[in-house]
Each structure stands twice: as structure tokens, then as C-alpha cells.
């Protein structure tokens, strides 16, 4: 079957042009410019006049909670929320129960996704002090990379000893395996927490969260990670940069010249410390939402190339988990359904362009991780794309939130754009509020 997506404005590789695409057997088989007609008649024509067509978003950083924490979320529920937000592929983190730190746990997670995920998937292998020998057993063409916590974490996934860190960076470099790193210095955080508890009691307000998980804690850990990556030639992606000072460590070279890249999240690009008064623990996350000056510096770094990718760090919790203050409420927020809309609002405000958003959310995740035939609107690539309506002003209602936890800090926000359709491997998985539960994504493959 050949399907013609007719007459949208296509945004791809820095261009914005009127055209059409033809989809067949799960792939894009033609990209037509202007009013050019297909050479072969199509079985189905979808009139996309007035809409924008962009590549499907690739989210390099999600926590879908399965297995073990399925009261909060599952691969099935969160992949539906992702599809509703224009996300067609995700890379999921290892801090589940059990942790994805063994080959057995990794295999089991892929098996769940094959049965349950509506969109494409890959999973990180979690680094510990004891499993470095398993790195060489990983299928580099199938998994996105290795995740390292250089800051507070759960279980045995916190790696702090210099000797172990050196081994991890060295082995990842030897295998040419991307290393994605959460950078916060746990020693600094512990001392800050001790001091704040002495001054403000055992349950200080959430406004102290960025004081405890401070800019200094982020800077020192990020500096250490970058030094190790330079020493060993490791392909490093520093996750969720949250401070202006960390940006001093990053370079604005073209992406093709970098082995060290950096990610920012829609949450850190949207919110700042002023928003704790309005949203409280709903925006409590690690690393913490910090000052307005930090948020604005991150926005500038998206534009000048120091930040290479936008990933959500989607981390659903039940509302009861978010009760408490800086030390008791769970950290993390569900955002994947609204991440693209939040960034498009920054385009409406003149802060970003839609071409930059597509570069950071679609193209660059594919480039950084070496994803095979996804992230672009190209002939021969998988037909993962999103149709956006730029003139559908609406407010996010609680009833429209698909994530299993049932809430989002973006609830009540007003957006001019709306995701009309999301296509995965040539099939429409989301269409104007309706989910096609029959569709299943595929395991992402990597060109390494």
C-alpha cells in the first residue's frame, strides 16, 4: 500500500518547505518538493494542507518504570503518552526493579517492549562497580549505550571511586559505546543536606532543593566526567545540564566534530526557581530546577550549539509520591506527552526556531547514538513522522493526560500547536486524540 501525505510544510535538516511524502511498507519511498506529483498512483491520500510535518521525536532519556514499579507507569502506558506527544522512539534508563545491570535483565526488558511498546525502543545498560566485564558482551548494534550515575542513585548504581570510573570510561571508549552520564557530586549534596536540615529541620520546603542539589554539585561532577572522557577518548553524553556554569565546560563545535555532547530537558528550559512557589514538588527533579539565569543560559546554549540534544528525563510518580518537601518528595516529573509542545511554545516566543527544535529533538539523537534510518525525512528511512497543527490553541486538561500517573507540571498550560497525528514505521499510532493500540514499535538498530 502506498500512502501520500499531501501538501504539508516539511521541516527537515534546517529547511522548511512545502511538499509531500509517500509511505510504503513502513518506509518513506519519496520526498516531493512543491507541487510535484508522485510517479506512481497512491492507494491512500491524506491531505495535510496547513499542517507541519517533522521527523518523529527521538527521546534519549526516559524512565518508563517497568519492570518493578508498574504502579507508577508501564512501557505500554508511557509509550502511548509518548505517541500523543509526537515521540516515535525512546531510550529507557536502567534504574528499574530489577535494575538493568545484567544481561538477563536487559533481555527481559526488550521482551516486554516487543509485546507492549507502541513506539520504537532501546534500553541503556546500567554501569556498576561490578559489571564492567559485561560491557563487551553487549550487542552494540542493538543497545543505545551505557548509563552511569556519577551522583546520587538507587541500589548499587552510584559509582564514585576514581579507579572504577576510570575503568568504565576506558572500556566504553574501547568499545566505542556511548556513555550517558548523570552528573551530581554526592559528597557536596550530602553536606548541603546536613546543613539545611540543621538550619530548617528534617523536612525543609522544596525551595531548598536547588540549594541541596546545588550548582556546585553539578559543575564538579560534570567537570570530572568531561576530564575522563577527554583522557580516554570516550563518546560522552552529559545528561540534563541544569546550570550556566556547566556550560563553560562545553564546546559549540559542529556536532560531527564532537565526542562530548550535552542534553537539556524541556523542564529545565521551561521552569526556574520562581516556579516552586506555583508548582511546588511537581517540578522537583534531579538535578534541580535552578535560577532564571540558568534557564536562560540553557536556552542560549541550545541556539549556539553547546547543548546538542533535548531529552525529557520523563519520570512519572504517583501524586502521593510527590508529597513532602526538599528531602521527602520523590524527584522526577512526567513530561513526554508535552515536551514537543513546550519547545514549540518557545518557538512562538522567538526563543528557538522550529528548525532548531527538529535538529535537537529528532536529528541529533539519531546522530549522537548512530541510529539507523530514523530521525530524518529521507527516502529509504523508516516512516516515523509527526503532523502538527500550528493554529489549534488549546489548554492541557487533566482528562487528556495519558501517562499512568495522571498528572504533569504542564497541566493547565496553553499551547498554540497541537499534535494531530504520529506515525511509527508507516502506521498511524495516534490520530487526533485516539490511540491505535494495535501498532507495535520496533527495536532501534544502531550503525556502529
Q: Has this prediction a pTM greater than 0.95?
A: yes
The domain covering 2-53+378-435 belongs, at the CATH homologous superfamily level, to Urease, subunit C, domain 1 (2.30.40.10)
**Positive or negative, the Cα torsion across 404, 87, 122, 310?**
negative
Q: Please answer whether residues 285 and 210 qualify as being in contact, where contact means their C-beta atoms are separated by less than 8 angstroms.
A: no
**Model confidence over 158-214: pLDDT tens digits?**
787 899 999 999 999 999 999 999 999 999 999 999 999 999 999 999 999 999 999
| Res. 152: pLDDT tops 70 | no
**Model confidence over 214-269: pLDDT tens digits?**
999 999 999 999 999 999 999 999 999 999 999 999 999 999 999 999 999 999 99
Predicted pLDDT of residue 155: 58
56-369 under CATH 3.20.20.140, yes or no? yes
- Does this chain's domain 2-53+378-435 share its CATH topology with 56-369? no
| Res. 154: pLDDT tops 60 | no
Across residues 118-133, what is the average pLDDT? 96
Please tell me the distance from the alpha carbon of residue 183 to that of residue 205, in angstroms, as a whole number: 24
List the chain domain ranges: 2-53+378-435, 56-369
| Res. 117: pLDDT tops 90 | yes
Q: Please answer whether residues 224 and 231 qualify as being in contact, where contact means their C-beta atoms are separated by less than 8 angstroms.
A: no
Predicted pLDDT of residue 110: 98
Please tell me the distance from the alpha carbon of residue 251 to that of residue 110, in angstroms, as a whole number: 35
Across residues 327-335, what is the average pLDDT? 97
Band (pLDDT 50/70/90 cuts) for residue 22 is: very high
Rounded CA Rg of the chain: 21
Please tell me the distance from the alpha carbon of residue 271 to that of residue 240, in angstroms, as a whole number: 13
Amino acid at each position: 500500500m502506498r500512502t501520500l501525505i499531501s501538501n504539508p510544510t516539511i521541516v527537515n535538516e534546517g529547511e522548511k518547505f512545502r511538499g509531500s511524502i509517500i509511505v510504503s511498507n513502513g518506509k518513506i519511498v519519496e520526498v516531493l518538493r512543491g507541487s510535484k506529483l508522485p510517479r506512481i498512483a497512491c492507494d491512500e491520500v491524506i491531505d495535510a494542507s496547513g499542517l507541519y510535518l517533522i521527523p518523529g521525536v527521538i527521546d534519549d532519556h526516559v524512565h518508563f518504570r517497568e519492570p518493578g514499579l508498574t504502579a507508577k507507569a508501564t512501557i505500554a502506558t508511557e509509550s502511548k503518552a509518548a505517541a500523543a506527544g509526537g515521540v516515535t522512539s525512546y531510550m529507557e534508563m536502567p534504574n528499574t526493579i530489577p535494575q538493568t545491570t545484567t544481561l538477563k535483565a536487559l533481555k527481559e526488558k526488550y521482551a516486554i517492549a516487543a509485546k507492549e511498546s507502541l513506539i520504537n525502543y532501546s534500553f541503556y545498560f546500567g554501569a556498576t562497580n561490578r559489571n564492567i566485564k559485561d560491557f563487551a558482551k553487549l550487542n552494540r548494534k542493538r543497545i543505545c549505550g551505557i548509563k552511569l550515575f556519577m551522583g546520587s542513585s538507587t541500589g548499587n548504581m552510584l559509582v564514585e571511586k576514581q579507579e572504577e570510573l576510570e575503568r568504565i570510561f576506558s572500556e566504553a571508549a574501547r568499545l566505542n559505546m556511548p556513555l550517558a552520564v548523570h552528573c551530581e557530586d554526592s559528597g557536596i549534596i550530602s553536606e548541603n543536606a546536613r546543613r539545611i536540615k540543621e538550619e530548617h529541620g528534617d523536612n525543609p520546603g522544596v525551595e531548598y532543593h536547588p540549594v541541596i542539589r546545588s550548582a556546585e554539585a553539578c559543575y564538579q561532577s560534570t567537570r570530572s566526567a568531561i576530564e575522563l572522557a577527554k583522557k580516554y577518548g570516550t563518546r560522552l553524553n552529559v545528561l540534563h545540564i541544569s546550570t550556566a556554569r556547566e556550560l563553560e565546560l562545553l564546546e559549540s563545535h559542529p556536532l560531527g566534530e564532537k565526542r562530548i555532547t550535552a542534553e537539556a530537558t524541556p523542564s529545565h528550559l521551561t521552569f526556574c526557581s520562581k516556579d516552586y512557589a506555583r508548582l511546588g514538588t511537581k517540578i522537583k527533579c534531579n538535578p534541580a530546577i535552578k535560577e532564571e539565569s540558568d534557564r536562560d543560559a540553557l536556552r542560549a546554549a541550545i541556539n549556539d550549539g553547546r547543548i546538542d540534544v533535548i531529552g525529557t528525563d520523563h519520570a512519572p510518580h504517583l501524586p502521593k509520591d510527590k508529597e513532602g518537601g526538599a528531602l521527602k518528595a520523590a524527584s522526577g516529573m512526567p513530561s513526554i506527552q508535552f515536551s514537543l509542545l513546550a519547545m514549540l511554545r518557545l518557538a512562538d516566543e522567538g526563543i528557538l526556531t522550529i528548525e532548531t527544535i527538529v535538529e535537537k529533538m529528532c536529528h541529533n539523537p539519531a546522530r549522537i547514538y548512530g541510529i539507523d534510518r530514523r530521525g530524518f525525512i529521507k527516502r529509504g528511512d523508516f516512516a516515523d513522522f509527526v503532523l502538527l497543527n500550528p493554529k489549534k490553541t488549546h489548554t492541557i486538561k487533566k482528562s487528556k493526560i495519558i501517562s499512568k500517573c495522571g498528572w504533569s507540571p504542564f497541566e493547565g498550560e496553553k499551547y498554540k500547536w497541537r499534535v494531530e497525528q504520529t506515525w511509527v514505521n508507516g502506521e498511524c499510532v495516534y490520530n487526533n486524540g485516539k490511540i491505535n493500540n494495535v501498532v507495535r514499535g520496533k527495536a532501534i538498530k544502531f550503525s556502529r
